[in-house]
Each structure stands twice: as C-alpha cells, then as structure tokens.
Amino acid sequence: MKNFISINDFSREEIFEKIIPGCKSMVAKAKTKKPLGWHPSKKVIFAFFEPSTRTLGSYLEASRLLGWRNMQINGAEATSLTKKESMANTVRMFAAQGADVLVMRTKIEGAQRFAAEILEADDWNTSVQNGGDGTNQHPTQTFLDLLTISEKLGRLDNFKIGFFGDLKYGRTVHSLLCALAHQKNISLKLASAPETVLQDRYKKIFKNVEEGDSLDILADCDVIYGSRLQEERFTADPVSLQRARDRFKISHKQLEMFKKDVIIMHPMPYVEEFDPQIRKDSRLIIDLQAWHGIPTRMFMLEEGYKNRKKKTLNNEKQKSEFEIITKMKLDKYMEERKSKKTVHKYFMPINNGTVIDHIPRGLGIKIREFLINKKLVGDIGVKHIIEDVPSKKQRLKNVLVLEDIFIPKETIAAISSFAPTITFNIIKNNIFQKIKIKNPSMISGIGRCPNENCITNHDGEASSKFTHHNDNLYCYYCEKEFEQREII
C-alpha cells in the first residue's frame, strides 16, 4: 500500500489482515524506544496546516525510531500558501525537497488525494498520508483506534460501540465508522446534540443503529468513543455549542451506568468531555490509544516507503464499453415505433442523426449546453429538447433529437457519465442502432462540488470529479455525496 488517504480506499482484508497486524508488529519495537537503525537517505516531510499534538508527535517519534530524516512545516501561514501559491505547487516542492513520504493535515478536504495525483502524474516517488482533511477522514487515527480495540477487547467484530459528542464534524468518527462497516455484528449507538448528529450516509452503512441525545443510551456498550466539539468547524450559535458541551460530559455518576468492563476512547484533545475526576479510571484508555500512534505510524512510514514507486492511480482514460441494445433496418424500426403510442405522440422521427434518450428530467438542457460548448451543435442543432416525456424506466425523462448530427465516441462516453440511464439512438445509412455505455466513467470537468471546503474549489489544477452513487453523485476528492441537481 502506497498512500493512506481514506479508509474507503482499503478492502476489509487490507485493513484487518494486513494493516492492523502490521501496526501490531511494531508495538514491541516502539516500546524499546531505541532507534532501529540510521537511514538518513529516507525522508518524511510533515506538512501540518492545522494544529496537532498527537498525530504529528507520534509520527515524529516513529520517524526517529526508524532512523529517518524529517522536515516539519507547522501551519499554512509558515508556507507560501499565504502568498496564494497553489496546493499543487506546494506539494510538488515538498517532493522536490526529497519527501519519500509526505504527511499532510489540512482544513481543505480532498487535498491529500489531489496531492497524490499531482505527484504521481509528475513521476515523483512519494507516498502521501492523510493526517486529517477537514471533516472528512483521518485514516491513520482509525488504524491506531482499531489496534487499541483489538488489544483491549481481544476482537474487532461482534461488539456494541457508542459514539458521543461531535459526530457531524469529527473526522476520526467518520474514518472509524468506514472501517467498522466491514465487520460483522457491530451495533452503533449515537449520542449527540441536534447540531452535531452523524450524517445519514454513515448511518446507512450499519444495520443496527440507535440514536439519542443523552449519554444514557451508551449503557450497554462495549466501547465508547468520544469526539470533541469541533468548534473551528462549527456553524451553530455559541449557546447551542455550550449546551451540547454540557450534555456530553462523562462524570463519575455517568461512569456507574456503563458496563463495568467498557473501554472508553477518545482521539484527543478532549476539552470538557471527561470530568477531571475520572482521568485515572482504568476504563479510560486514552493514553494507551494515543501511544499506539507511534507503532501505527512506524508501520505507515515503512509501508509507504516500500511502495512509494508504485503507480496506483489509473491515469489512462477508462475504456468505455459500448453495448448495442438494438440494431435493425430503419423502416422496420419505424414500423415498430408506430405501434408504441406514447413515443411518436411526443416527437417526430428522424432519418439521419442521433437521439439521446432516457435523460433524467432537467438534465436535457445541461447536455444541450455541453454539446454547444463542444461545438458539436450550434444553437439550432438540437431539434427538440423534450421535457417530461413519460417513460417506463424513469417516470419523466428528457429526450434530445439531433438531426444530421453524430457524436464522437468519447463524447458519447462523457454524456453517459451525466447519468447511467442515458441511451443513444443512432440513425445512419438506413440502419437504426440503440446503444448504451456499460461502464460510465467518472464525471470530470463538469459541474462544481457544492462543498466550499473541497480542494476543487481551492486549486485551479483540481477539476471536479464525481462518481455515481445510487441516484446521487459522490465527489472523488472530498468524498461527500450530493444530488445530481446540486452539481450539474
């Protein structure tokens, strides 16, 4: 594994059978506190554009124990980013300064994925590791959390886990959930204020989810995991902020209500989540958890270094497969068409050209614009945009009729990426052909990610990319899901 950017990049086997055992194998070595060697030619650059105590500190200790060189940048204000240098050029510079591994912590979401892409495209051999990107992901924290659960609980499946505090903005919660979603018999309990509830997209991946707005619902949990109110990302008013804080504080009294052998975790920093009186309670295992950052990141550094030369991103354009649904003589098709009452009521047939069919309602006009921008049609080239045609597959659809116009294959693939339902009727030389793209690629260079914190809204070189996810679109960089109409 070369890059550690998002838990979503890894399979169950990779996380639970390779990474966690790998982190475990470093525990004894980390305990000795003795450097394993001296490797001044290996270099890690830490670019931390948000504050950090544990992630940066444990990575630094990991690199000392491995005998590597390191370079450390603390705060975006210490770099030329404040002079409006782009993220792309900033990371290119780190690679040029010898980073075998580049660990980044950013407020901007998806910056690490973008960095990995830029460096691979420029042929740098650098592993990119995400020390936290905004509210999105913090994968290396998840690995140390899992290492801790495995050590204390003796298993990584079949338990009840309760999360409390800021479940909306807490990236460590999101990453951990993505990993636990692979495991059997995990029940979730979620305790949070209305302002900080977990987004549906994370809840959806679990079968057993119980929600409440008090810590009481965590009474039968095997693991309890807290998250600080992420004030720096919080948008609600200060009164609700304070209310949320007061409600989610674990005191002695509260502790009595939990299981006797519960383990209580927190990525730290904690602010008011624990009463100082319970700091020494053996159920609170946050010090062990934080210490596990060292062996975990020793493994991350070694693994990233080993694989730094691998090409992991598929830069080649995905080959689109065309599926021919129907091919017949045009007159035969016209005969058949007559028998379909609904269709010919709405638009006139053409003898030469392309009909783009099964376009989701509202997208017809966007595809028309796209074709005009590509100079494939002039303003008058589109004979009809038919709104609200009843269809069996979609309740209402749009149809574009392009008389005497044929679209190149790449453009057909690009149009299909707008929506996988789209089909193309091509009428040429008295032959009618209906085709469809089997594997519509990512939507790229079309639309804008609505997340203001997404790297695509912060770097001119980062153009938006989306994949289809059920009926929605999923941003390749910030990993957030949106409805199609929010994007195009």
Q: For binding to ligand NCD (CB under 6 A), which residues are involved?
A: 54-55, 132, 138, 141, 171-172, 228, 267-268
User: For residues 57 and 72, what is the distance between their CA atoms, to the nearest angstrom?
Assistant: 11
Q: Is 138 a catalytic residue?
A: yes
Q: Judged by CB, which is closer to ligand NCD: 292, or 480? A: 292
Among the options 42, 43, 113, 138, which is catalytic?
138
Handedness of CA 83, 88, 94, 98 (dihedral sign): negative
CB of 282 to ligand NCD, least distance (A): 21
- Closest CB to ligand NCD: residue number: 267
Q: Which of 43, 55, 172, 397 is catalytic?
A: 55
Decide whether 171 or 358 has the Cβ nearer to ligand NCD: 171
Distance in Å, CB of 252 to ligand NCD, minimum: 24
CA dist., res. 109 & res. 113, Å (int): 9
At closest approach, how far in Å is the CB of 268 from ligand NCD? Answer: 5
User: Distance between CA 163 and CA 297 in Å, rounded?
Assistant: 24
Nearer to ligand NCD, 266 or 434 (CB): 266
Asked if 327 contacts 51 with a C-beta cutoff of 8 angstroms, the reply is no
Let me know if 342 is a catalytic residue.
Answer: no
In angstroms, the CA 124 to CA 186 distance is 40
* Residue 250, number of CB atoms within 10 A of its CB: 26
Query: Scanning the structure block, which residue is given the tokens 């509202």?
Result: 362
Shorter beta-carbon distance to ligand NCD: residue 24 or 107: 107
User: What region does 132 belong to: left with phi over 0, alpha with psi -120 to 50, or beta?
Assistant: left
Nearer to ligand NCD, 141 or 192 (CB): 141
The Cα 475–Cα 416 span in angstroms is: 17
Helix/strand/coil for 215: helix
Cis peptide before 21 (omega within 30 of 0): no
Closest distance of CB 44 from ligand NCD, Å: 17
> Who's near 34: CB < 8 A, 6+ residues apart?
65
Cα separation, 46 vs 33, in Å, equals 21
List Cα–Cα distances, 15 to 187, 304, 306, in angstroms: 19, 15, 17
Least Å distance between CB 60 and ligand NCD? 14
Instruction: Give the shortest CB-51-to-ligand NCD separation in angstroms.
Output: 8
- Residue 216's Cβ-side half-sphere holds a number of Cα atoms within 13 Å equal to 3
Shortest distance, CB of residue 467 to ligand NCD, whole angstroms?
26
Q: Are 267 and 292 in contact (CB under 8 A)?
A: no
Cβ proximity to ligand NCD: between 54 and 458 the closer is 54
Q: Active-site residue among 2, 42, 43, 54?
A: 54
CB nearer ligand NCD, residue 141 or residue 451: 141
In the set 43, 105, 358, 434, the catalytic residue is 105
Residue 82 known to be catalytic: no
For ligand NCD, the closer CB: 168 or 308: 168
Q: Which residue in 34, 83, 84, 311 is the catalytic one?
A: 84
Q: What does the DSSP assignment read for 367-416?
A: HHHHHHHTTSS-TTTEEEEEEEEE-SSSSEEEEEEEET----HHHHHHHH
Min dist. Cβ of residue 272 to ligand NCD (A) = 12
Give every strand in the sheet of 159-165, ordered side by side: 208-212, 186-191, 159-165, 223-227, 263-265
Measured at the alpha carbon of residue 442, what is the angle toward residues 439 and 445, in degrees to the nearest 5? Answer: 145
The nearer residue to ligand NCD, 107 or 243, going by C-beta atoms, is 107
Nearest residue to 258 (alpha-carbon basis) of 289, 302, 235, 224: 224
Minimum distance from CB of 440 to ligand NCD (Å)? 35
Give the number of other Cβ atoms within 10 Å of residue 334's Cβ.
15
- Residues annotated as part of the active site: 54-55, 84, 105, 138
